[in-house]
Amino acid sequence: MPTHRIGRVSYVNGRYVPHSDAAVHIEDRGYQFADAIYEACEVRNGSIVDLTRHLDRMDRSLRELRISEPMSRKALALVLAEVIRRNRVRYGSIYLQISRGVARRDHPFPTRPVAPSVVVVAKHGDQKKNDAMAVAGIGVITMPDLRWGRVDIKTVGLLPNVLAKQAAREANAREAWLVDDAGFVTEGGSSNAWIVTADGVLVTRPEGPDILSGITRRGVMDTAEKLGIRVELRAFTVEEASQAREAFITSASSIVMPVVTINGKSVANGHPGTLATHLREQFHGVVEARNLSTRIPI
Ligand code: PDD
């Protein structure tokens, strides 16, 4: 892949610009108030995985925050495709952020309407490295969930997630599982959390204001249904997870990633579980993938 020959290009408010010059104004409300939403999608074989669901969730986040839609869905899909194309990304991710826009700093919404800011950034990924990580499995640590009450909205207000993930890194773990006041795992710092019971049932927390409704989580539910694996939507404690047959996380960047240690203690035999591994293998055969280089049927 001749990625070193071409400069990275990002999209900022109507323009494709060299990545190193890509910038928004210092009074962008995303920058000052985290008054912005985002989506991060997997790119695989040059196509965006599960684009429709990501754009549906984006619409919902915008509605919840009363940020106006910056452009039509078709136009947005074209911009995403163009950024992927210009950066020659075959495998990696595409990041989309929409803020309320630029206005003199004042907490309430701007009184005069401002145009939302739109930023799109593509990133190359290393598929071999990710697959190797899934073969080895990852460690998670647990931390109190210190976030606000509407984490179902995918905002860029991620400071507690940042701190939790940094703590994980410093503990040589890949993810932090966030735990509510009652001792139940909500989700990971940037992923949803799952376990497998002794009976081979998948367990993950139901949708609600306390978790992000992950697109990969949905795709794994569809994959499980196709494979005849039962899914139970309920919360689980750290204790239950530590005794589980398997544990794993899901996200657009990790798809299905087996968890082999929790707070340094092995889950089951300390190796990736068979169900998590099977779900990872089958996932892309079930979810939507659009070849954006040919046409965009939206
Ligand atoms: N993170 N929970 C949180 C807090 C997340 O940030 C994410 C995604 C998920 C999984 O959602 P999805 O399956 O739609 O990726 C759950 C992305 C990858 C990120 O922040 O980069």
Of residues 74, 154, 226, 265, which has the active-site annotation?
Answer: 154
Give tens-digit pLDDT for 1-23: 554 557 999 999 999 999 999 99
Q: Which residues contact ligand 1 via a Cβ below 6 A?
A: 40, 161, 187, 190-192, 212, 214-217, 250-253
Phi, psi of 270 (to 5 degrees): 80, 10
Q: Which atom of ligand 1 is nearest to the CA of 254?
A: 18
Q: State the DSSP string of 183-219.
A: SBEEEESSSEEEEE-TTS-EEEPPSSTTS---HHHHH
| pLDDT of 88 strictly over 80 | yes
Contacts 24+ apart (CB under 8 A), 272-276: 272/134, 272/135, 272/136, 272/137, 272/246, 272/248, 273/196, 273/245, 273/246, 273/247, 273/248, 274/246, 275/196, 275/200, 275/202, 275/229, 275/246, 276/194, 276/196, 276/246, 276/247, 276/248
Closest CA to 241 of 172, 141, 153: 141
Q: Whose CA is nearest to atom 2 of ligand 1?
A: 191
Q: Is the pLDDT of residue 298 over 60?
A: no
Mean pLDDT calculated for residue range 113-132: 98
Which segments of the chain does DSSP mark as H helices, in order? 29-33, 51-65, 73-86, 127-136, 159-170, 215-227, 238-242, 274-282
> In angstroms, what is the span from residue 88 Cα to ligand 1's centroid?
24
Mean pLDDT of 112-134: 97
* 154 has catalytic annotation: yes
> In the chain, what are the domains?
3-125 (3.30.470.10), 130-289 (3.20.10.10)
Rounded to whole angstroms, the Cα distance separating 258 from 248 reads 4
What is the reported pLDDT for 6?
75
What is the model's pLDDT at position 4?
Answer: 52
Give residue 214 CA to ligand 1 midpoint distance, Å. 6
pLDDT of residue 290: 64
pLDDT in tens, 254-270: 999 999 999 999 999 99
The amino acid that residue 262 corresponds to is I
pTM: 0.95
> In the predicted model, what is the mean pLDDT of residues 184-208?
98
Give the model confidence (pLDDT) of 126-166 as tens digits: 999 999 999 999 999 999 999 999 999 999 999 999 999 99
